């Protein structure tokens, strides 16, 4: 039996555990709950940036909502292919979670070419048309326009995701889109300001999978 949410090899597991121990020691005191720190620590591990101890913010029900969605095998909708490519397929499959992204679909590209929107925004609209947004994990690690479109759908189309991981990166609307998400009543996790990225969004999902496994006792495979 082996843990599905850890590195596949013993040397890999030793390195990861040692890295987490170093982060815990160097980060010192913080104001996060233990389950929230599991996520923040992984963001620091993925980026080498201790500023995420402070930049990472949580809706009070965010972790519980994410764990419940994973246990229920709810879909995961990403803004870009890079997020999906970074996710560990065996970890998702262990909980019956299927990932989707639509930014490269021909109909999405055609719509973006004929309307004053981005492909990322159109991809969120397609996910909505397919009925994939409500009750799902929405993971945005690249495109502020995807997050802004999702917020519009939450406000105007009564879309209600289980959890939104909002970590777009950049200089145009990245910080603003995350602040707008933090004003919504649905559960969310953000990295405040300009910092973010697909790597951090993926790290957040993997941390949630670890928390799900620990809470449910479902962290082993043959």
CATH of the domain at 188: 3.40.50.10230
Helix (H, G, I), strand (E, B) or coil at 23: helix
Q: Tell me, what's the pLDDT at 221?
A: 57
Which residues does the annotation mark as catalytic? Answer: 45
CA dihedral 102, 106, 108, 114 (to 10 degrees): 170
Nearest one of 164, 205, 204, 208 to 184, comparing CA atoms: 164
pLDDT at 138: 98
Q: How many CB atoms lie within 10 A of CB 17?
A: 12
Mean pLDDT value across the chain: 93
User: Containing domain of residue 121, as a range?
Assistant: 2-221
| Cβ neighbours for 70, distance < 8 A, ≥ 6 positions apart | 95, 97, 137, 208, 209, 212
Rg of the Cα trace of the chain?
A: 17
- Cα 166 to Cα 169: distance, rounded to the nearest angstrom: 10
pLDDT score, position 116: 87
C-beta separation of 117 from 143 below 8 A = no
Tell me what pLDDT residue 13 has.
78
Number of compact structural domains in the chain = 1
What pLDDT, on a 0 to 100 scale, did the predictor assign at position 1?
A: 45
Q: How far is CA 23 from the centre of its chain?
A: 21
Neighbouring-strand partners of residue 57: 190
Cβ contact 204:140 at 8 Å = no
**Tens-digit pLDDT profile for residues 51-73:** 999 999 999 999 999 999 999 99
Per-residue pLDDT of the chain (222 residues; tens, 9 = 90+): 456 776 666 777 788 888 888 998 999 889 999 999 999 999 999 999 999 999 999 999 999 999 999 999 999 999 999 999 999 999 999 999 999 999 999 999 999 999 989 999 999 999 999 999 999 999 999 999 999 999 999 999 889 999 999 999 999 999 999 999 999 999 999 999 999 999 999 999 999 999 999 998 876 554
- Which pLDDT score is estimated for 179? 97
């Amino acid at each position: 039996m082996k843990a599905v949410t850890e590195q596949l090899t013993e040397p890999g597991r030793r390195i990861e555990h040692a890295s987490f121990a170093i982060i815990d020691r160097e980060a010192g005191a913080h104001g996060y709950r233990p389950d929230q720190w599991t996520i923040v620590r992984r963001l620091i591990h993925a980026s080498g940036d201790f500023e995420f101890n402070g930049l990472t913010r949580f809706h009070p029900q965010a972790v519980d909502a994410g764990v419940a969605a994973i246990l229920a095998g709810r879909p995961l909708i990403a803004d870009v292919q890079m997020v999906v490519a970074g996710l560990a397929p065996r970890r998702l499959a262990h909980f019956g979670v299927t990932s989707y992204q639509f930014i490269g679909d021909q109909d999405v590209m055609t719509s973006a070419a004929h309307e004053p929107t981005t492909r990322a925004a159109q991809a969120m609209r397609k996910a909505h048309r397919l009925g994939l947004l409500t009750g799902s994990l929405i993971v945005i690690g690249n495109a502020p326009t995807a997050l802004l479109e999702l917020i519009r759908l939450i406000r105007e189309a009564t879309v209600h995701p289980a959890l939104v991981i909002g970590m777009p990166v950049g200089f145009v609307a990245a910080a603003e889109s995350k602040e707008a998400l933090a004003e919504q009543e649905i559960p969310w996790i953000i990295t405040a300001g300009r910092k973010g990225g697909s790597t951090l969004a993926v790290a957040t999902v993997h941390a949630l999978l670890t928390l799900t496994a620990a809470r449910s006792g479902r962290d082993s495979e043959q």
